Structure 1
Amino acid sequence: MAFRLPTMLAVLLSTSFLLPLSALSEQVLSLSEAERLALIDDPATLRYRELAEARREAAISVRQLPDPMLIMEVMDVARDGISIDDDSMTQLRVGVRQTFPRGDSRRLASERESAMAQAEAARSSNAELAAVRAVRRSYLVLAEQRAILGVLEQSQPLFEDLREITEREFASGFADQQDLLRAELELSRLHDRLLNVQAQEAVAQAQLARWVGNEALSRPLSLDLPELAEPAGTLLAHPLLDAEQAVIDAGNHGVELARQGYKPQWSVELTYGTPTQRGMGMPDRMSAMVMVDLPLFTRQRQDRDLSASVHRREAAQYAWDEQARELQRQLGESQARWQLMSERERRYQQLLLPQARENAEAAEHGYRNRTTDFNSLVRARLTELETRIEAVRIGTQRRLEQVDLLYLLGENA
């Protein structure tokens, strides 16, 4: 038992330290978690889903036959009296009438509604992609502001050290008052930049809160800017083009539906009649009637309906072409900017950041040894600060362009 107690104590202590760390790691608001929260109750996505479901229900409804009509009739009532019991000519009739719409109009109307349901479903997919793009952009902008804020906070001790060095040099007679004022000025300007970035961070937080809520936004973000999947889709897979193609398909069904207007519409009527005076021994009567539309004069109605449906279909085709050209333009611009930003980010990481850091260290070493003047030291520190901030902005811009590429190529991975 004396040998097991230290082991058990060590296990308990290690567990007590691991639990808070794991809990803290679970509280980090990752980009994937923000995307999931944004898609739970996105109104635009849900609206198009409801419209698609409405179209599917309508597709079933329009395929059915019209409701039959009940016919109740009193025939041959004498004009000189309202009594029907004493008149051998008066009959009571009851029947039913069923109408059969023209040609394949029911099937074509159903297929047109189904095509429009596909269009609404594609718009729902686009709304989901747009929501993912928006939350990614908001997340990246907030991460950028917090990264810049971190750079400024890390630089603050360096500028405070710079002021202290200048104060010592001024007290020793190796620096003048202007150098001391310059050091205090740069430190004050750094504090002002911190306030400015904090204000921009608050704006970015409000934009991201629109998607994930204030409760989720209280969790910390990842320390590094998130990496996204490499764009690998095709422009033709974009749901906006799918939506326009579905409208074209609905237009084709609309043209065929308009052609059905040249075909007759049929109605069948069955009636049963009985005389009101039974004493004459008159039998009950049954009747059947068929009614047919005669579309003989088609110039001002059927021809016009067909022409209108053809124009609507052509307009839908032009809408697809316009949408494809616009997406292609956006894709070309985003690809060019993404490639340029990728090259700039690589140069900053491999060349500019190390050079700026080495230049600042060399300037400070020279100033301490009185081989470099104060202005050169300040410029070196400011250059390093601006280079680090610009590296963050370029990295963010590269990811923002990548977000747009993933949206244009129909990807949300």
Structure 2
Amino acid sequence: MLNLPRHLRVTWHWLLAFMPVSAFATPVSLPQALVAAQGYSAELSASRHQINALENRAESAMQLPDPKLKFGIENLPVGGSNDQRFTREGMTMERIGIMQDYVSSSKRERKAGTLRAESRQVAANGQSIRAQLQRDAAQAWMELAIGNETVKQLQALVDESQRQIGVQRGGVSSGSALPASVLDARLTLISMQDKLTEAGRDVQLARTRLSQLTGIDNPEILGAIPPVSELPAEATQADSISQHPEVLQARREAEVAQAKSSESAIAALPDIGVEVYYARRADNYDDLAGVMVTVDLPLFTASRQDKDHAADQSMAMESNDRLAQLVRTHQAQLTTLLAQYQAASTLWQRQKNDVVPLQQQRVSVIQAQYRAGKSNLNDVLEARRSLLDSQIAVRNAELDVARYWVALRYLAPQENN
């Protein structure tokens, strides 16, 4: 380990203490954030492992059961003059054999089909997880990007107000301004600083959320904000509902239920077991060999296998009904989401294009009046505070648009180039 002189260590610690946080920031673009979130997700990794497990089980289900080794002693006397003697009774023999159960290939194929259907169901669930991850990461990235811009705007207003309060204090010293005006101005400034602190808090929360999703320490925005004012093409595609991951997952669940129904439909097919054995007897007797066959006898299918099949059929019909209901629900949700996006976009454009320019003009007019001696500093600060409130309203409106845009853009998981 490198040992530095004490005065150098102290200097290094002070440099670290006063080094800006941005020096340790990691620039992240929106596509990079989406990729990082998917790579960092333990839930998505678990889904991939589950798919691999089901595929392996499906391959195993196609195989016959392992053969069985059977050995032992048959017909050992337990009484009389030959009690517990192995070689005096002609029927006593040491027996060894191999037994193999033969399960119908149709049964094995349908069991494997059920497992593969379950694998596709898990894969659909993985797509749903991916879509949710992309929505969450994109939303956190948007909140951080929009929040950073808002903080810069608010900071500029607060700095200018602080500067003018300093000038006003000089006026109090010279007798050209009343002390009460400075106190009023400071109260107005504190209110503006509170809004700035809240905006900074929101930025830090968004950064923490993005770091939690992506595993990137202290992420910082890289690149421009996507054009959220334009409706995503994914929301207007004819098959947007059918390709929704939750709908695909419900469809896969229905396929699993149908596969189980197909599996139980042939449950009454009998399995066959074949045993080949060799039996050694005493020296004075001939050895024996034989073949034994066992066959299942499904004599009561009406109260057993048929009942199971009827239950599986009902489950399949239930899954189809749930799928139909889910499609209707998502269609209504998409219509609602589009209406919310359009309304939020209209409010945002009105705030950005009408309200903020008017507030900026008002600040300019009052500042001109202040320089001409026709208004006081409090009027200027109040105008700035109104502008600050309008900028916060623009930020909130843009965040609403961004949230709806993200929800529409990532209805289904998107591949990032």
Indicate whether 1:311 and 2:314 are aligned. Answer: yes
The alpha-carbon deviation at position 162 of structure 1 amounts to 4.3
SS of 1:261 mapped into structure 2: coil
Which of 187, 191, 194 does residue 193 from structure 2 map onto? 191
The alpha-carbon deviation at position 337 of structure 1 amounts to 1.8
Give me the identity figure in percent.
21
Q: Which amino acid aligns with 2:358?
A: Q
Indicate whether 1:286 and 2:289 are aligned. Answer: yes
In structure 2, the residue matched to 1:363 is 366
The alpha-carbon deviation at position 247 of structure 1 amounts to 1.8
1:9-408 paired onto structure 2 within 5 Å = 28-80=27-79, 81-102=83-104, 104-163=106-165, 178-213=180-215, 215=217, 217=218, 220-222=220-222, 225-227=225-227, 230-232=232-234, 233=237, 234-274=240-280, 276-280=281-285, 282=286, 284-371=287-374, 377-408=380-411
The alpha-carbon deviation at position 373 of structure 1 amounts to 6.4
- Contact (CA 8 Å) 2:29, 2:223: kept in 1 or not? no
- Contact (CA 8 Å) 2:55, 2:119: kept in 1 or not? yes
Unaligned runs of 5+ in 1: 1-23
Q: Which amino acid aligns with 2:402?
A: R
Report Cα offsets for 1:232-290 as digits up to 9, x if no partner.
2512112222222122112111111112122222222222334x23335x3x4332232
Q: Which amino acid aligns with 2:58?
A: A
CA distance in 1, matches of 2:94, 2:170: 120
CA distance in 1, matches of 2:415, 2:402: 14
Q: Which amino acid aligns with 2:387?
A: E
Figure out how many residues of one structure are paired with residues of the other and give that number: 384
Report Cα offsets for 1:73-129 as digits up to 9, x if no partner.
433333332112222333333222222225621110000000101111111122122
Report Cα offsets for 1:113-168 as digits up to 9, x if no partner.
00101111111122122112111222222233322221211102332354356557
- Contact (CA 8 Å) 1:270, 1:288: kept in 2 or not? yes
SS of 2:273 mapped into structure 1: strand
Q: 1:355 to 1:91 in 2, by over 3 A?
A: same
CA distance in 1, matches of 2:193, 2:362: 23
- Contact (CA 8 Å) 1:148, 1:392: kept in 2 or not? yes
The alpha-carbon deviation at position 51 of structure 1 amounts to 0.8
In structure 2, the residue matched to 1:13 is none
- Contact (CA 8 Å) 1:94, 1:272: kept in 2 or not? yes
CA distance in 2, matches of 1:179, 1:329: 56
Over the residues paired in the alignment, what is the CA RMSD in angstroms?
Answer: 2.9
SS of 2:27 mapped into structure 1: coil
Q: 1:37 to 1:163 in 2, by over 3 A?
A: same
In structure 1, the residue matched to 2:13 is none
Normalised by the length of structure 1, the TM-score is 0.82
CA distance in 2, matches of 1:390, 1:270: 85
Q: 1:231 to 1:52 in 2, by over 3 A?
A: same
- Contact (CA 8 Å) 2:102, 2:271: kept in 1 or not? yes
- Contact (CA 8 Å) 1:98, 1:269: kept in 2 or not? yes
CA distance in 2, matches of 1:198, 1:384: 18
SS of 1:247 mapped into structure 2: helix
The alpha-carbon deviation at position 398 of structure 1 amounts to 1.0
CA distance in 2, matches of 1:96, 1:327: 58
Normalised by the length of structure 2, the TM-score is 0.82
CA distance in 2, matches of 1:265, 1:220: 64
The alpha-carbon deviation at position 296 of structure 1 amounts to 1.5
CA distance in 2, matches of 1:368, 1:167: 16
Q: 1:173 to 1:333 in 2, by over 3 A?
A: farther
Pick which of 113-122 and 334-343 moved more. 334-343
- Contact (CA 8 Å) 1:139, 1:208: kept in 2 or not? yes
SS of 2:294 mapped into structure 1: strand
